Homo-oligomer: A and B are copies of this chain.
Amino acid sequence: MFSRSSVIRLAAGIAVTLSLGVFGCSPAVVARAPLPSWNEGVARNAILEMVSATTDESNAAYVAPGDRIATFDNDGTLWVSHPLYTQAVFALDRVRALAPAHPEWKTEQPFRAILEENQPAISGFHMEDWQKVLAATHAGMSTESFEATVDGWLTIARDPRFGRRYDELVYQPMLEVLEYLRANGFQTFIVSGGGQEFLRVFSDATYGIPTSQVVGSSVVTKYEYRDGTPVLEREPEIFFIDDRKGKPVGINLFIGKRPIAAFGNSDGDREMLEWTAAGNGKRLGMLVLHDDPVREYSYGPAQGLPDTSIGAFSEELYDQAQAEGWVVISIKDDWKRVFSWE
């Protein structure tokens, strides 16, 4: 019933499976072609070639597993950030929820504009307005209380255009990149201008990225005792802004190694891509261009798309990408599918 040769084949199969398990921690061999939601083309090939070169020990560009670091911006790179950053939507919702305890907000800006649903005023908020909103909604509570609030909000909030939870508005092709890189021994990190503790609430379940691999902006936290129990209290004071020049700083601070590959979509990602590209050996910089008004959005001055203050992809960045050999991902042309639920 079981011949000697069948047992040997079985044993050989086990050896292969085990060795895959040892080196990649992924005993299940993925049979389908990688990146199935990507169209054939320059962008998809650039990812495949980078992985092929850096994981092949006979290639001059080979990189040891521990140094295979890939960093991803979040807003507009991994999930939708239009027409308003999701964390800003959360902040506005929190102002409405907290308003009964703050009668003074009825006359005090910028809160009054939010409570009166004055969209033109909200669109024109300056940095100081947003700082007041963030101080009122993101501070003055413990880290645990903040996380529970974000989690509760994600459960009930729905994006008005798509009618979906915000953590469902993630780009399927980018999820495949995350998965493909990890299957090839890369560690994937979020490096976002958004709030680190906001992102951490959903990063593991949504992207398979644990809290310790989420780099973001943060407020000062203070260690205090409340009724004898230690708490970390969020203060209304910026600790670190992980945007623009702050992204390489954050990468060095939190990761301590230079990425092999970096993915962004806006001028806030320029320095992260520069820092990544300036390393020795093969490097990959990619920028998502939002040029698909039908399936997603179309915005940013690059390529004559409509201008916006949300995640701008400037003409200057477009030119720099061309000059530096960074690869622009066209949502319209490169992505077969934008969302998993399409």
Residues of A within 8 A of B (CB): 1-2, 4, 7, 10, 14, 17-18, 21-22, 25, 27, 66, 143, 187, 189, 196-197, 200, 204, 210-214, 218, 221-223, 229-230, 232, 239, 245-246, 248-249, 252-257, 271, 274-275, 278
Contact = CB atoms under 8 A, between A and B. Distances in A.
Contacts of A18: 17-18, 21, 27
Contacts of A256: 196-197, 200, 210-212, 214
B254 A212 contact: yes
A113 to B, nearest CB: 33
B252 A66 contact: no
B221 A252 contact: yes
Given A2-B4, A221-B249, A221-B252, 19 more contacts: A1-B4, A14-B14, A18-B21, A18-B27, A22-B25, A143-B252, A196-B253, A196-B256, A197-B256, A200-B256, A210-B256, A212-B212, A212-B213, A212-B255, A212-B256, A218-B253, A223-B248, A230-B278, A254-B254
A249 B230 contact: no
Contacts of A2: 2, 4, 7
Nearest to A224: B245
A255 B254 CA distance: 9
Contacts of A223: 245-246, 248-249, 271, 275
A17 to B, nearest CB: 7
Nearest to A23: B25
A210 B255 CA distance: 9
